[in-house]
Amino acid sequence: DGGITQSPKYLFRKEGQNVTLSCEQNLNHDAMYWYRQDPGQGLRLIYYSQIVNDFQKGDIAEGYSVSREKKESFPLTVTSAQKNPTAFYLCASSIDSGGGWGEQFFGPGTRLTVL
Amino acid sequence: QQQVKQSPQSLIVQKGGISIINCAYENTAFDYFPWYQQFPGKGPALLIAIRPDVSEKKEGRFTISFNKSAKQFSLHIMDSQPGDSATYFCAARDDKIIFGKGTRLHILP
């Protein structure tokens, strides 16, 4: 049963703490993405990775970090430098279509709340 | 240039009615226009998509109309049902996929 899993579903963090959100896919997709969703803001790209051991900043990368050590995994760390981290975080993956991003397959999301 | 402008922000439709969501773009290099459906607390899922060489694509009750000269495309949901209540995102792709800000659709029973 192929798909994308994100954990945890809900996460609470105290101000000043770093937290790491997990994203795993067994679709054998080359590319993986992290988006942030806020009400009325749509989906904003944080980071993306088209190949293992390589990743690029998206539109709102400040205060976030990622790694891509395995094809299946693309964890996102929300650092204390992120000023407003409370949001719904979505991980996605796609086949690398060569000429552009392929269809995005999304995980179920992690809702992060800073207390 | 890279934006995809989506309207309306929210929409209420009676059951059985037609729901229409519109998107506009400026970048003529966009080559793929997907629509995503998202239920509360879930991730978005691809609903239907179109390429710019086609003016209309229909899948069941869902239709994309594409006007290349006007740089606009729209999603029509025929015979709207309460189960269609969700947030809908249009998107467009050149080297990246750019999402609209979403439309929250509510179908009245």
Tokens read off for B47: 């609903």
In angstroms, the CA A43 to CA B90 distance is: 11
Chain Cα centroid distance, residue A83:
17
B88 touches A at CB < 8 Å: no
- Radius of gyration, alpha carbons of chain A: 13
What is the SS3 assignment for B82?
Answer: helix
What pLDDT is stored for residue A103 in this prediction? 87
Residue with the two structure tokens 């991980």: A91
What pLDDT is stored for residue A97 in this prediction? 62
Q: Tell me which of A46, A55, A56, A101 to substitute to probe the interface with B (most B C-beta atoms closer than 10 Å).
A: A101
What pLDDT is stored for residue B1 in this prediction? 54
Residues B2-45: tens digit of each pLDDT: 699 999 999 999 999 999 999 999 999 999 999 999 999 999 99
Average pLDDT score over residue span A96-102: 69
Residues A42-54: tens digit of each pLDDT: 899 999 999 999 9
Residues A3-47: tens digit of each pLDDT: 999 999 999 999 889 999 999 999 999 999 999 999 888 899 999
Average pLDDT score over residue span A69-85: 94
Residues A55-64: tens digit of each pLDDT: 999 999 999 9
For chains A and B, count residue pairs whose Cβ atoms are closer than 8 Å. 50
- Rounded to the nearest 5 degrees, what angle is found at the Cα of B95, between the Cα atoms of A41 and A65? 60
- Radius of gyration, alpha carbons of chain B: 13
In angstroms, the CA B86 to CA B106 distance is: 7
What pLDDT is stored for residue A1 in this prediction? 58
For A101, name the nearest residue in chain B, comparing CA atoms only.
Answer: B96
In angstroms, the CA B3 to CA B64 distance is: 19
Please say if the pLDDT value at position A99 is more than 80. no
Name, in order, each residue with C-beta under 8 angstroms of A95's C-beta and a sequence gap of 6 or more.
A29, A30, A31, A102, A103
Average pLDDT score over residue span B72-93: 97
For A10, name the nearest residue in chain B, comparing CA atoms only.
Answer: B41
Q: Which element (helix H / strand E) includes A16?
A: none
What pLDDT is stored for residue A2 in this prediction? 67
Q: Do residue B43 and residue A90 have CB atoms under 8 angstroms apart? A: yes
In angstroms, the CA A78 to CA A82 distance is: 7
φ/ψ (deg, to 5) at A43: -105, 120
pLDDT above 70 coverage of chain B, percent: 98
CA atoms within 13 A on the CB side of B44: 32
What is the SS3 assignment for A104?
Answer: coil
Tokens read off for A33: 């993405």
What pLDDT is stored for residue A95 in this prediction? 87
